[in-house]
């Protein structure tokens, strides 16, 4: 009986041992299989993950491409930049350190708050920028006090710099930090301190100027701290951008215009190259790179002279008497008046119950077309406009580049306005009136033009070709190749009448700009003045006598305009000048153009290819 029981126990024990051994064998087989899967089948994947934990890839920002004038003179470059960083893990007491730095480089309260916030957000070994664009003196002070500044590092890099400051700011634009909505997925844009173009050529050609990022592979430890660099691929600098501008002329024109709210465009009439495009007052693009204060930004925005606006391409003005050449050409082409016909100006003319005045209160007497252009007789052009009608005037205006975008390459360009009967019906739901044709005949009313359009109009008058402006050079060479502009199909004898009138404006005894005539090595200019009212003159004001310019509030003064080309007998350059609320074209705008042409013609010869 006892033997039987012992036998049963042995059988049970053996069954349990076999079951347990089987389970252990099964688990061991699973473990071996899993190890085989991880070490053999998935070995490549886990090797890559391990390598990624060991290797850290960092982007190297590229040097931004330069912007240069037609002669290779720098307009926007990169300069050495010192910036101060803090590595928080090496700082025993952050508050004490910031107080010490404040005594050395003067940190604002806002900057201190930003630094503390960034230190709290980032890992302790990740550097935080304290200040960008340190001067040499500031950098030296930090280095001298290095022993008292644990965790402070001075880093060297490149920053954008505009040598001429505000001289060409509206064309160049500026760079600034990347905003949230500007992130495109390009990791380069996420680099701390990386800047992109925000306006002007910096914006329009940002991708070309930006270049390509380089890479640096660092070995890091388990905490992500860099130990040593393993591999490096240098960044690709951005491409240089050459403009048609002559930096020397641009600077001269800018200085000549001073603080006037004004604009000026100088063009080569054969190639369409813009040699100078100035809008004043301007701004310093370097300020945007370093970061504007709230006060600085508010000052720029609230200035009534609009320093942030490129008036040369965005300002839209009634062209005034500078438009009379277009009206005269349309009249000659359609035969509504003969060049020898004279119209009597007695200082006013009536249309129904309304009286239209000439700028010359006593009138000009009998005037022909050449005389009417030279003396800018309004009564002559009222009559010519009445005979022509709006459709013919508008058609000629568009042939000379008015009322359309000229695609200069800046997105802020505006197209002006050449009105028509259809336009007024669509815009106001009203029919065009004959009195509006009168006003259009002297370049006022609904018509609007930019200074760039006026310079193009003048270039076309000088050449009878459909000149188009350009501001980007296609090559680094400065020699001019005459562009293949098509003919405007204007009768050359008609055009000679207009040119004779423009010559007499400046050089004739009755010319409105005779005080601005020039003679530089025998070279003279032809031009046309313009004065456009921004406030209607009432009958009562005329009867009481118009006030002196100084007694009129600045915002109510007329705009002053002048367009011209030179040399008069072999045109090469065209210019337009608009001075907002300047008073009179002959008194304010013409002298500016005179001085710029004198500067431009000093070294000019008929064989010159310099500009």
Question: What's the pLDDT at 384?
Answer: 96
| pLDDT at residue 33, rounded to an integer | 66
SS (H, E, C) 3-49: HHHHHHHHHHHHHHHHHHHHHHHHHHHHHHHHHHHHHHHCHHHHHHH
pLDDT at 49 over 50: no
Least trusted range by pLDDT, from 32-41, 116-125, 468-477, 591-600: 32-41
High-pLDDT (> 90) share of the chain, %: 53
CB 80 within 8 A of CB 158: yes
What pLDDT digit, counting tens, does each position of 289-344 carry?
A: 877 778 888 888 888 999 999 999 999 999 999 999 999 999 999 999 998 899 99
pLDDT in tens, 139-150: 888 888 877 788
Is 80 exceeded by the pLDDT of residue 474?
no
pLDDT above 80: residue 159: yes
Q: Is the pLDDT of residue 353 over 80?
A: yes
pLDDT, residue 576, reads 98
Tell me, what DSSP letter sits at residue 66? P
| Every domain range in the chain assigned CATH 3.40.710.10 | 247-284+308-601
Q: How far apart are CA 293 and CA 191, in angstroms?
A: 23
Which tokens sit at 38? 């991880």
Mean pLDDT of 357-379: 93
pLDDT for the residue numbered 314: 96
| CB 247, CB 262: distance < 8 Å | no
Is the pLDDT at 478 greater than 50, yes or no? no
The active-site residue out of 176, 321, 375, 459 is 321
CB of 84 within 8 A of CB of 154?
A: yes
**Residue range(s) of every CATH 3.90.1310.10 domain in the chain:** 58-242
**CATH 3.40.710.10, applies to 247-284+308-601:** yes
pLDDT in tens, 483-533: 689 999 999 999 999 999 999 999 999 999 999 999 998 999 999 999 998
pLDDT on residue 28: 72
Cα(first)–Cα(last) distance of the chain, in Å?
128
Instruction: Give the pairing type, strands 343-345 and 241-242.
Output: unpaired
Residue 475 has pLDDT above 80, yes or no: no
Is 176 a residue whose pLDDT tops 80? Answer: yes
Q: Which of 94-108, 298-312, 537-551 has the lowest mean pLDDT?
A: 537-551
pTM, rounded to two decimals: 0.83
Comparing 156-170, 224-238, 427-441, which segment has the lowest mean pLDDT?
Answer: 224-238
- Is 321 assigned a catalytic role? yes
Better pLDDT: 242 or 548? 242
Q: In whole angstroms, give the CA distance from residue 157 to residue 63.
A: 9
Task: Using DSSP, state whether 74 is helix, strand or coil.
Answer: strand
Q: Which of 580, 458, 582 is nearest to 525 (CA)?
A: 458
DSSP structure string for 430-493: ----HHHHHHHHTT-TT-BB-HHHHHHHHHHHHHSB----B-B-SSS--------PPB----HH
Confidence tier at 211 by pLDDT (50, 70, 90): confident
Question: Any residues with CB less than 8 A from the CB of 470 and at least 6 apart, and which?
Answer: 244, 271, 272, 273, 274, 408, 409
Q: What is the mean pLDDT of the chain?
A: 85
- Please state which of the ranges 68-72, 139-143, 185-189, 285-289 shows the lowest mean pLDDT: 185-189
Evaluate if residue 378 carries a pLDDT over 90: yes
Indicate the class that CATH gives domain 58-242.
alpha beta
More confident site: 383 or 548: 383
Q: Looking at residue 57, what is its pLDDT?
A: 65
Interval 20-27 mean pLDDT? 72
Q: In this structure, are residues 470 and 275 in contact, taking their beta carbons and an 8 Å threshold?
A: no
Overall average pLDDT of the 234-241 stretch:
87
CA–CA separation, 356 vs 339, rounded Å? 23
């Amino acid at each position: 009986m006892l033997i039987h029981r012992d036998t049963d126990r042995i059988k049970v024990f053996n069954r349990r041992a076999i079951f347990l051994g089987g389970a252990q064998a099964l688990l061991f087989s699973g473990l071996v299989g899993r190890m085989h899967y991880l070490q053999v089948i998935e070995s490549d994947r886990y090797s890559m993950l391990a390598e990624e934990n060991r290797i850290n890839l960092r982007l190297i920002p590229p040097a931004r491409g330069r912007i240069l004038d037609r002669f290779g003179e720098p307009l926007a470059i990169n300069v050495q930049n010192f910036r101060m960083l803090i590595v928080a893990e090496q700082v025993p007491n952050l508050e004490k350190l910031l107080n010490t730095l404040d005594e050395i480089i003067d940190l604002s309260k806002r900057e201190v708050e930003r630094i503390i916030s960034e230190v709290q957000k980032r890992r302790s070994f990740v550097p935080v920028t304290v200040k960008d664009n340190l001067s040499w003196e500031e950098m030296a002070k930090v280095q001298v006090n290095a022993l008292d500044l644990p965790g402070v590092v001075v880093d060297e890099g490149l920053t954008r710099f505009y040598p001429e400051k505000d001289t060409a700011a509206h064309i160049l634009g500026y760079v600034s930090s990347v905003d949230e909505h500007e992130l495109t997925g390009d990791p380069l844009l996420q680099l701390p301190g990386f800047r992109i173009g925000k306006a002007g050529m910096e914006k329009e050609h940002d991708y070309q100027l930006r270049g390509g990022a380089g890479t640096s592979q660092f070995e890091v430890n388990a905490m992500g701290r860099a130990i040593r660099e393993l591999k490096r691929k240098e960044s690709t600098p951005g491409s240089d951008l050459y403009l048609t501008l002559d930096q020397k002329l641009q600077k001269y024109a800018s200085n000549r215009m001073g603080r006037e709210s004004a604009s000026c465009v100088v063009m080569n009439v054969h190639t369409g190259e813009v040699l100078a495009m100035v809008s004043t007052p301007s701004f310093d693009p370097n300020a945007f790179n370093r970061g504007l204060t709230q006060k600085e930004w508010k000052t720029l925005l609230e200035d009534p002279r609009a320093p942030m606006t490129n008036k040369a391409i965005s300002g839209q003005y009634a062209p005034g008497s500078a438009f009379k050449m277009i009206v005269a050409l349309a009249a000659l082409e359609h035969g509504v008046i003969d060049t020898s016909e004279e119209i009597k100006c007695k200082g006013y003319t009536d249309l129904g119950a309304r009286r239209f005045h000439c700028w010359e209160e006593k009138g000009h007497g009998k005037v022909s077309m050449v005389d009417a252009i030279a003396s800018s007789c309004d009564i002559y052009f009222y009559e010519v406009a009445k005979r022509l009608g709006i459709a013919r005037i508008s058609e000629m205006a568009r042939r000379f580049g008015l009322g359309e975008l000229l695609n200069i390459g800046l997105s802020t360009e505006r197209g002006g306005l050449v009105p028509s009967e259809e336009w007024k019906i669509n815009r106001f739901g009203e029919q065009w009136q004959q009195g509006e044709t009168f006003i259009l005949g002297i370049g006022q009313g609904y018509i609007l033009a930019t200074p760039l359009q006026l310079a193009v109009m003048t270039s076309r008058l000088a050449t009878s070709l459909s000149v188009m402006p350009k501001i980007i050079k296609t090559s680094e060479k400065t020699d001019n190749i005459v562009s293949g502009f098509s003919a405007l199909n204007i009768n050359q004898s008609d055009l000679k009448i207009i040119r004779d009138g423009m010559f007499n404006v400046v050089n004739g005894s009755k010319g409105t700009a005779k005080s601005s005539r020039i003679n530089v090595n025998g070279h003279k200019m032809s031009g046309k003045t313009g004065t456009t009212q921004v406030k209607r003159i009432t009958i009562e004001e005329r009867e009481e006598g118009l006030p002196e310019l100084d007694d009129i509030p600045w915002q109510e003064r007329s705009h002053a305009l002048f367009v011209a080309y030179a040399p008069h007998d072999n045109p090469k350059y065209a210019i337009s000048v608009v001075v907002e609320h300047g008073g009179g074209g002959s008194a304010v705008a013409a002298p500016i153009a005179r001085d710029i042409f004198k500067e431009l013609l000093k070294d000019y010869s008929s064989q010159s290819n310099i500009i």
